[in-house]
Every structure is written in structure tokens, then in C-alpha cells.
């Protein structure tokens, strides 16, 4: 293929541009193939993305059933629950953090989370755990996500996941504000437990039963690894799109390109795959743009 | 302070060098203060570091009781257990990953893990879970880590943690080969569970009871966040050293500098803190060098 | 300002998204102000960008007179001249480079430049230098750029710069294929010279005479520094947009944010400025999109 | 080779550690081979490195004749000249840049350059150009570097280069404070010129006449490209060590790994080469340590 000069921003012109524009264009192609082949789509993301406006795209994907499984950090559940009722503020990457602390604003890059947001979450989660505990003392992260979705407002990706039966897995859920509430809840209910092995059967069945699977992996961490790990059970993803800002040169999972996954059998040798080296807040909306417009 | 020309590599000359050399020098100073002030030291790292030779430094820190609490990914337990008996191989960051897959070598950056390593882990973990289940059906990640340490060889950081009563927390433990074995074990023992809320009481008590706390945070992910999250309960770390290759400009927790933690109260406003922007395989040995030589 | 969920990709929704999407949105705002205030616009870029499809945007900016001064590496002149007649090919970031070498393909990231491209350049530049030498033995880089523009085809940013009297400065011009041809030419014409001080008067006059100046700085290197350096003479840029993938933590000029420029007086204290942390092949087309349409 | 646990920091233990520690160890091996094979050693670096304490190592390499050719940015000459008489200060990566500007401190990452430093340079360079102009009106960058070395103090790498006949090339020299002085000087001496083609014969002869060549390339930019470009004339470097923080995924020359150079013939197909992904302020002292001792 020849390098062509960019005249407008569309899939073909991006593919022929070179550098990461090429990879954004390829990512669009691969997502289209996932859809066309009816692949079971795994979407994973780190929690900062839900603190940002990317939450709108995730929510829309869940509403339109463009995704079949979500794996994410506990913080994503925190932010989605809070933002369905409260607002975060735009700040700056460089601010006086001691002053922010004094004024009760918590910084995530250039986004500020006011302290009162977490008060809302506390009340909400107390109810969630109380209700769940009445039925079942040992619960799974995906059950918590589902319960939040049932109880929260429409402006929430968890709401749409519950409504559309899209399971949301969060293997590291205690590492979050929700996890902290679980800890407080347990102090009065000693036999309350979050059993993380409980979700593994459900998740592995999805992987094993799927005809084809596709991964849209935003950022790294436990969510990324869990998605490729469970796809190992079936011989790997058939389609994979990674969007990352992390470097592979330190051997980190977060920076690992799709190629590395092939050595493990987490991505198939003949898979369609691409790694887009870009902040997801820029690349992900471009990639999903043509699938979200109706 | 004036910039001085580097004449030899020691703490003072690094501090006065500028750029990241300055931050490595400051990290040494801060670790020294942690020790002098008898701070409770939290060490966190991602699993790739245990796949690498950095395992030797972690092990030595545990043997010499230079660390009080470890928080890490499930994969770190995998690699430590395996490497106490098996060898990994040096590869390259760019290899034919399909060929590696066919030959049963799994790539982590420039490190290769032969498939048979995981067979060893499977047998070992079956025994671990069987023995633990006899006593207690609902177990915590730190109990698994401790049990592995009791049963494995001396050439292991988990061995020294068990021996020296250093708790090892792993809130995302199911996302690992050990987690997969837990899943297999549960298929015959339905009431077996890994309750991740169980560790939170223990971990929060350590944070609340400490006079001063210090964090040595290598890489990002759930381990980093969990350490700063639990220190929020006490008003933040008194000392913090981050070593990272991740960028803060995407709002990721992994790339967040120590400053960001201050806005949250995860690091104290008056803390001694530094972020070293470097691959831990280079920076961490330099930082720990003077504390490990006796 | 509140964080809003992304619903479509436009300036407002990007600004309220958080992370780098915010900075892309702000970059659009700042470029609009440059235009509205009739600022003298300096555009700088590294040569790889002209090897890519971004050449189309640069060319269009020159055709539409959206830029007043260009400062770039010698390689940009190479690629623009060649690509007005020859095609580059799309490759991959990881290829067998020894095999590429044997087959006469030179790799720039995921772009391949066939050897014959440089043969075209050699013949063309011999003519350029021969003609120029007849008039003047000591020439300046901007004169070379202008001469190439006069002689090459319409499908070239240099063509439009010559036509629209947009000066193209290249202070490091000998570091390029064109520089190599200059070296060969000089072997028979000993008094032929490229005097880089010759352009400094012209460039400094542009800076000093401008009412307001704006910088659009893609990537780093000598082009970036030269643009901010010459703006120092007038007290700094009034508007500045940097697009970069480089890190500031190593003290490099390439990674330096706009803020650092303020300390030097290279950007005004009250300037409108933003640093977009993104591959220009993705961010630059989005930023320029609304100014190039119709 | 097997991965071994790090016990102490030496070449062997670093090589067997994995990740970038491995590459630091390999870099030491390759520099040793350069020496053993008596290769002509090209050292290139960006100017920020001379603003930092790395200047001490460069100076020592020149004093001990461990380097045969230097290619660097004009700013390196600025900083070396100034620092042989004045001191820079240690600052921080995040400071109030408007306040710094008001107080006359110019920031380079976490290094501060007081304004008066440049006044010293102005006086010095006026003399340099006046003296040089008396002999020759059209001068080359390497001649300027050599003249500065003759006139400045012993505490300077340029001093040792002049003394030890190590040529210092700076193809983009006008992009510097020295370049600005050249511009001022030219206003009264219209026939004064800096001819950048003049150095190309000298530099290409070094490349062509060398039996073997080795490159130690710190950072990117014009210095890096010029070194590999001139080695193209001889079929490429025999040995190459790159130390960089830049990413290859944007197709930039600064982020290009040694592999990419092979496709161009800038590095030989059978060369010994390694790219160390690290801030040079940390990696370069480790690499050079054993060659500078005694």
C-alpha cells in the first residue's frame, strides 16, 4: 500500500497516512470485522477513562449492545455510579495539590473529583450491600456491578449493562471506594464476603462458548490482563485492538503490544490485531465513531 | 543547590546532576529517612519485575526485613513460586511470537517463560489449596501468599515473607495462574472461596496503627493504587518513592506522580516524596544498593 | 467547567472530556484565535511528518495561506521534493531490517522509502545548486527551499510556499539528502557555500515586525527550538500549540511543555498555550480540520 | 541465557536481569568492543545533557581520548562555554514559570540557567568571532567549537577536544545563543558567514577513512541523525549504542531504534548494537563507569 496524503479524516485516509494514524484506521477495520463476524466483544478499560468523557462512548456501546463483556477496575464502577448523579470538574495536569487537598478536590490528571461525590457513593453502596446480603452472603464482583446497574439512573453504563444483560467483571474490585464500603459493611456482618473465584466460572464459560472473540482493550492493568488471560482458555482472541500510552520496553503488561499476546496464546497466531499508541481520550472516539452514529 | 558535574555515581553527585539522576539520588535519601524514622515500609510492584532479576532485590529486602508490607499482582506470586525451582530465559523485545507460541515459550518483554514452568505451578497450587481448604473454606489472598512461602524453597521472596511475618497482599489475585488453579479447584469444592474483603481489615489496621509509613512503589496498576488507597485512611504516606515509566498526561493512575496523591490525601502534604521516571530494572538496584550491601 | 460525556467529536465535547482530548479541543481554540487576531503563524515539524500523509495538511495550509513561516528539518525538504514525484510505501514498525536493506527499502517507523527515490532527488538538486550558483555563490537554506518550490510540481508544500511567498527556514539543512548533494556539488565548486547566518536576519525581522505571533509546533528538535528561539527576540509567542510524544522528565527540549518556554520568554506569560501529548498523525488532522474544510 | 536474580550491579548481573538492565549491560559490552577494536568513536548528545552533570563524563571522555568525533547541538557549546565559568542551579520539573521569567531564571527540565550566564557568553563569543574573522571570513561550525576550546578554561569538554584534536561538529549551530551572537556580529560584518557545507568534507573523510566506527548516541535530534547519516557513506556503524527516552511508534528519528538504522545502511547488518530506553542522566554514567575509572 502507498502512503497517501491526508485530505480528510476517514478510515482509508488514516490507514494510508503512516504512523499511528494508520493504526487508528486499522483499529476501525478490526472492530468492523468483530461486528461482521458476530464475535463476542470484550471491552476493557482503566478507571480514569470513566472519570473522563469517554464514559459517554462506553455507555452508548452498552446501550446499543456493541459489547458483550466488560472487564474493568473497581474505580470504573465508582466513577460511573457517582457521575450518574454528580459532576466532576475540569482542572489541569499541574495544580497546587496541597491546596486542592485542603479544598476537598481530588485530582485525576486534569479532572477533579469533589469529596462530596464519595459521600453519595457511600450511602448508595450501603444499600446495595444490605440488599444483596439479604439474599446471599457470599457475592461476586459481577453481581455487585449488576445490582448497581439495576438501582442507578439511566445515565450510567452499568444501567445499560444490567438492562442488556452485559456482564461486568471486576476481579480487583476491593481496590476502590466500593471496596472500602464493602470493608465497612463487613465490620458488622462478619460472614459477608466477596468471592472473586465465583466470577471465574461465568467468565471462562463466555470465553469457551464463543464462536469468535474480539478484544477492545483501553489502557492496561488487571482489566487488560484478565481479558487476554481468559481468552487463553480458548486459544486466544480472534480480533484484538489495544489502545495504550505505555511503553513495551520495560516488559510491563500494560505496555505489551498485541504481538506479545500471541506468544502466550492469548491472541491467535492468525488474529487480526493492532496496537494503537495513543491516549484513549483521543483515539477511542475516532475508532468507535462510525459504529455509534446510527 | 548547584548543578555539579558527575564524577562518580553516588547519591550526592546524582542529586546535583539534574534530570532523573537527581530523582534517583533523592529516592535514596527518602528511603534512608524511612529507615531512620522506623516507618512502616510498603513495597509494591507489578508482576513483570518478579519475572526479571529484580526478584533478587525484593527477596533480599524481605530477608533483611527492609520492608513491612508487600502489595503486588497475582502474577508476582506465580513468578516467585516458579522461579524458586525453574529458570526463565533471556529473549528479545522483538521476536517471532507465532514461532515462540509453537515452541511453548511465553514472552514478557525480553524474558521468556517456558510452558513447563506453569505445570510446576499447577501441581504446587493444587496442594496449597487442598491443605488450606482442610482448615478453612473461605481464604484470603494474603493467606495464600503466606502458605506458598511456607511450602516453597528459600530462593523465594515469599519464603522470606512467611519466615519474617511480612504480609503479602494481592487484591487482584484471581488474575494470575494461581487464580486459574483456584478456579479449577473450586469446580470440585463449590464452597471454596477467595474472599478479598478478608484482607482489608488486616491491611487497614497496619496503615492505621503505624506511626509513620513509607511507600516504595515500582510501576503502577492495582498494587500501586491499593497501597496509596489504604494510606488514605491514615491521612497519607509520610514518605513516598515512585519509580515509573508511565506518563501522567493520560490521567492514568500508573502515570500519576506523587503530587497527584497529595490532592487525595494518599500522600501527606508535608511528605518527602519523589517520582523517578525510569525503568525499575535500572533505577531500583541503584536506589537499594546502599541498603542491601552489609 | 464540568466534565461532560463524549457524544460526538467536536471542539466543545473534546474540551469537556478531560485528558488529552481536552488539549486537542483547546488547540483548536488557540489556532482559531491566531487566525482571528491575524497573528503571524510559525509552523514547525520534524521530517518524518512529511514522509507521512500529514504532508497533505501542510500543503493545504500553505495553499490556503494559513501559515506565514515554516521552520523544519532538511529531511522535510527531501521528502516533499521526492513525494511530489514518487511514492512511499506503508510498512510496519517491526520488520526484518536487514532484509529491507538488501531490497533497497529504507524504514521510517512504518513507512518505507525505496532507494530510487533518492536518485530522483540527486538529479533534481544538482540542477538546483547549478542554477543557484550561477547567480550567487553563498546561499541560504530558505533560498534553497524557495528554489525547489519554484521548480517542483504543484503536489508539494514547497511549491505553495514559493507561490505564496511563505519562507521556509531549515537551519540544519546539511543534515539531509539535500545536504549531501550540496557536499558533492561543493567538491567541484569550492567557493559554493550555505551560509546559515544569512537567514537569521530575515527570520528575526519577521519575529520583530509581527504584531502578534502564534506557533504550531509538531514534534521537537531544531525546528521547535528555532521557532521559540527567534520569538524570544520579541518577548515570546502570543499563542502556542505544541503537539508532542516526548517526555519532559529528561529535560529535553523536545519534551518541554509550553510552560517551560515561559520561563525563557520564548512564550509570553499571558499567552494562550497548550501542549497536546499525542502522535501528530492523529492529533494534527483533528486540530486543523475545521480550518481546512470548504 | 538464563534470567538471574540481581545480586549486585555489574555488567553480567545486569545482562541477565531482563528489561532495560539487560540493555545497559549490553551497552557496556559494545563500548568495550569499540575500544578493543580501536573503532573511531562518534559521540552525539543533545544540549540539555551538557546543561546537566553529564558534562563531567563527556569532559572526562575527551580528556582520556575515549571519543574521536563529537556531533552535537549548538546549545551544547553554549552550556559548556558558560559552565566552565558559571553555575547552573537545581530546580524542579514543575515550577511557576512566569515567576522564574520575572526573576531571570530559564528552566531546562529541573535545571535553571540564570540570565547573567548568557551575558558572559555574549562577551566571549564577540571575541571569538572577531578573532576568527581576522583570519577567515567564512567559517565552519567545527572551527568555532575548536576556537572556543582554545580560549576557554580547562573545566570544559571543548577545551579537551581542542587540546586532543577531537573535532566537534554542530551542523545546526545557528540555533543557539552562539548562533544569535553570530547574527549580531554579521550586522557589522556583512561578509561574515558560517558555511555548514565546509564541515561535511572533513566529517565524511573521518567516516570513510575509519577502519571501524562506533556510535554512542545520547538522545535524538540532528546530532543523532548526522552521525548515522555520515556513517551511511561507509556502509554503516560497526557498533552502535543508542540511549533514548523517545518512542519509535510515531516514526520519529529520535525514537528510532538501532534496527531502523540497518534498513538504511546507517548501521551495518552485522553490527553490534543496542538501544537503551532510559534517561541518559541515569544510564550513561553506568555505561561509562568502567571506562572512566582509575
Would you put residue C19 in left (φ > 0), alpha (ψ -120 to 50) or beta? left
Of A283, A215, A260, A259, the residue nearest A44 (C-alpha): A215
Query: By CA distance, what is D198's nearest residue in C?
Result: C193
Cell readout for D129 is: 568571532
Could you list the pLDDT tens digit for every one of the 294 residues in chain B? Answer: 999 998 778 899 999 999 999 999 999 999 999 999 999 999 999 999 999 999 999 999 999 999 999 999 999 999 999 999 999 999 999 999 999 999 999 999 999 999 999 999 999 999 999 999 999 999 999 999 999 999 999 999 999 999 999 999 999 999 999 999 999 999 999 999 999 999 999 999 999 999 999 999 999 999 999 999 999 999 999 999 999 999 999 999 999 999 999 999 999 999 999 999 999 999 999 999 989 975
Question: Mind telling me how many Å the CA of B143 is from chain D's nearest CA?
Answer: 26
Give the distance, in angstroms, between the CA of residue B38 and the centroid of all CA atoms in the same chain.
Answer: 20
> Do D45 and D223 touch, CB atoms closer than 8 A?
yes
Q: Which of C4, C21, C281 sits opposite A17 (nearest CB)?
A: C281
Of A10, A42, A3, the residue nearest A168 (C-alpha): A42
Hey, are the CB atoms on D5 and B51 less than 8 Å from each other? no
| Res C294: pLDDT | 52
Q: Which of B109, B193, B251 sits opposite A110 (nearest CB)?
A: B251
Hey, are the CB atoms on C173 and D194 less than 8 Å from each other? no
Q: Which of C110, C197, C279 sits opposite D192 (nearest CB)?
A: C197
Q: Which of B9, B60, B293 sits opposite D289 (nearest CB)?
A: B9
List chains touching C (3+ CB pairs under 8 A).
Answer: A, B, D
| Res B6: pLDDT | 87
CA D209 to each of CA B148, D66, D237: distance values in angstroms, whole numbers, following the listed order: 62, 18, 13
Neighbour-count burial of A67, counting CB atoms closer than 10 A to its CB (0-12 exposed, 13-18 middle, 19+ buried): buried
- ipTM tops the 0.90 cut: yes
DSSP 3-state of D172: coil
Contacts of range B132-138, beta carbons closer than 8 Å, 24 or more positions apart: B133/B185, B133/B189, B133/B192, B137/B189, B137/B191, B137/B192, B137/B193, B138/A138, B138/A193, B138/A195, B138/B192, B138/B193, B138/B194, B138/B195, B138/B198
CA A211 to CA A39: how far, in whole Å?
7
Query: By CA distance, what is D251's nearest residue in A?
Result: A19
To probe the interface with B, which of C94, C249, C253 has the most B CB atoms within 10 Å?
Answer: C249
CA C7 to CA C231: how far, in whole Å?
39
Tell me the per-residue pLDDT of C142-178, one tens digit each, with 9 for 90 and over. Answer: 999 999 999 999 999 999 999 999 999 999 999 999 9
| Res D7: pLDDT | 80
End-to-end alpha-carbon separation of chain A, Å? 31
Tell me the per-residue pLDDT of C65-98, one tens digit each, with 9 for 90 and over. Answer: 999 999 999 999 999 999 999 999 999 999 999 9
Phi first, then psi, for residue A65 (nearest 5°) are 55, 40
CA D154 to CA D164: how far, in whole Å?
12
Hey, are the CB atoms on D19 and A251 less than 8 Å from each other? yes
| Res A9: pLDDT | 81
Catalytic residues of D: 266
Could you list the pLDDT tens digit for every one of the 294 residues in chain A? Answer: 999 998 778 899 999 999 999 999 999 999 999 999 999 999 999 999 999 999 999 999 999 999 999 999 999 999 999 999 999 999 999 999 999 999 999 999 999 999 999 999 999 999 999 999 999 999 999 999 999 999 999 999 999 999 999 999 999 999 999 999 999 999 999 999 999 999 999 999 999 999 999 999 999 999 999 999 999 999 999 999 999 999 999 999 999 999 999 999 999 999 999 999 999 999 999 999 989 975
To probe the interface with A, which of D95, D99, D249 has the most A CB atoms within 10 Å?
Answer: D249
Query: Which chain B residues are closer than 8 Å to C247 by Cβ?
Result: 247, 277
What band does D8 get if pLDDT is binned at 50, 70 and 90? confident
Hey, are the CB atoms on B16 and D53 less than 8 Å from each other? yes
Hey, are the CB atoms on A174 and B193 less than 8 Å from each other? no
Phi first, then psi, for residue A18 (nearest 5°) are 95, 170
Of A259, A242, A233, the residue nearest A20 (C-alpha): A242
Give the distance, in angstroms, between the CA of residue B22 and the centroid of all CA atoms in the same chain.
Answer: 24
Size of interface A-B (CB pairs under 8 A): 221
CA D288 to CA A60: how far, in whole Å?
55
Tell me the per-residue pLDDT of C252-285, one tens digit each, with 9 for 90 and over. Answer: 999 999 999 999 999 999 999 999 999 999 999 9
CA B146 to CA B276: how far, in whole Å?
31
The one catalytic residue in B59, B83, B147, B266 is: B266
What band does D216 get if pLDDT is binned at 50, 70 and 90? very high
Average pLDDT, chain D: 97
Tell me the per-residue pLDDT of C203-246, one tens digit each, with 9 for 90 and over. Answer: 999 999 999 999 999 999 999 999 999 999 999 999 999 999 99
Looking at chain C, the number of H-run helices and the number of E-run strands are 14, 11
H/E stretch holding C89: strand C89-90
pLDDT of residue C137 exceeding 60: yes
CA angle C244, A105, B239 (to 5 degrees): 80
Q: Look at chain B and count its residues.
A: 294
Q: Look at chain C and count its residues.
A: 294
Give the distance, in angstroms, between the CA of residue A41 and the centroid of all CA atoms in the same chain.
Answer: 12
Phi first, then psi, for residue C191 (nearest 5°) are -90, 5
Hey, are the CB atoms on A109 and B183 less than 8 Å from each other? no
Hey, are the CB atoms on C108 and D197 less than 8 Å from each other? no
Hey, are the CB atoms on A97 and B245 less than 8 Å from each other? no
Hey, are the CB atoms on C73 and D48 less than 8 Å from each other? no
Neighbour-count burial of D163, counting CB atoms closer than 10 A to its CB (0-12 exposed, 13-18 middle, 19+ buried): middle
Give chain A's contact residues with D (Cβ, < 8 Å).
Answer: 18-20, 94, 247, 249-251, 277
CA D36 to CA D78: how far, in whole Å?
33
Query: By CA distance, what is D278's nearest residue in C?
Result: C250
Cell readout for A127 is: 444499600
> Do B274 and B18 touch, CB atoms closer than 8 A?
no
Of B176, B158, B167, B169, the residue nearest B74 (C-alpha): B176
Query: By CA distance, what is B60's nearest residue in D?
Result: D7
Query: Which chain C residues are closer than 8 Å to B259 by Cβ?
Result: none
Amino acid at each position: 500500500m502507498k502512503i497517501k496524503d491526508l485530505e480528510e479524516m476517514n478510515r482509508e485516509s488514516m490507514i494510508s497516512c503512516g504512523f499511528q494514524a494508520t493504526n487508528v484506521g486499522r483499529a476501525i477495520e478490526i472492530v468492523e470485522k468483530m461486528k461482521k463476524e458476530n464475535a463476542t466483544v470484550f471491552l476493557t478499560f482503566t478507571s480514569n477513562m470513566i472519570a473522563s468523557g469517554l464514559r459517554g462512548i462506553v455507555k452508548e456501546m452498552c446501550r446499543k449492545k456493541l459489547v458483550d463483556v466488560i472487564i474493568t477496575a473497581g474505580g470504573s464502577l465508582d466513577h460511573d455510579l457517582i457521575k450518574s448523579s454528580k459532576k466532576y470538574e475540569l482542572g489541569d495536569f499541574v495544580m497546587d495539590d496541597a491546596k486542592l487537598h485542603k479544598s476537598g478536590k481530588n485530582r485525576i490528571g486534569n479532572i477533579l473529583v469533589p469529596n462530596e461525590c464519595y459521600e453519595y457513593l457511600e450511602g448508595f453502596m450501603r444499600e446495595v450491600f444490605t440488599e444483596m446480603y439479604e439474599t446471599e452472603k457470599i457475592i461476586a464482583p459481577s453481581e455487585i456491578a449488576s445490582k448497581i446497574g439495576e438501582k442507578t439512573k439511566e445515565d450510567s453504563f452499568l444501567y445499560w449493562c444490567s438492562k442488556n444483560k452485559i456482564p461486568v467483571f471486576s476481579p480487583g474490585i476491593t481496590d476502590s471506594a466500593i471496596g472500602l464500603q464493602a470493608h465497612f459493611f463487613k465490620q458488622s456482618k462478619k460472614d459477608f464476603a466477596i468471592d472473586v473465584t465465583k466470577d471465574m466460572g461465568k467468565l471462562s464459560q463466555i470465553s469457551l462458548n464463543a464462536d469468535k472473540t474480539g478484544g477492545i482493550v483501553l489502557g492496561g492493568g488487571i482489566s487488560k490482563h484478565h481479558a487476554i488471560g481468559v481468552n487463553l482458555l480458548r486459544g486466544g482472541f480472534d480480533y484484538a485492538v489495544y489502545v495504550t500510552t505505555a511503553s513495551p520496553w520495560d516488559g510491563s503488561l500494560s505496555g505489551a503490544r498485541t504481538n506479545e499476546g500471541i506468544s502466550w496464546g492469548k491472541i491467535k497466531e492468525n488474529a487480526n490485531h493492532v496496537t494503537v499508541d495513543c491516549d484513549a481520550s483521543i483515539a477511542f472516539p475516532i475508532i468507535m465513531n462510525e459504529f455509534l452514529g446510527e
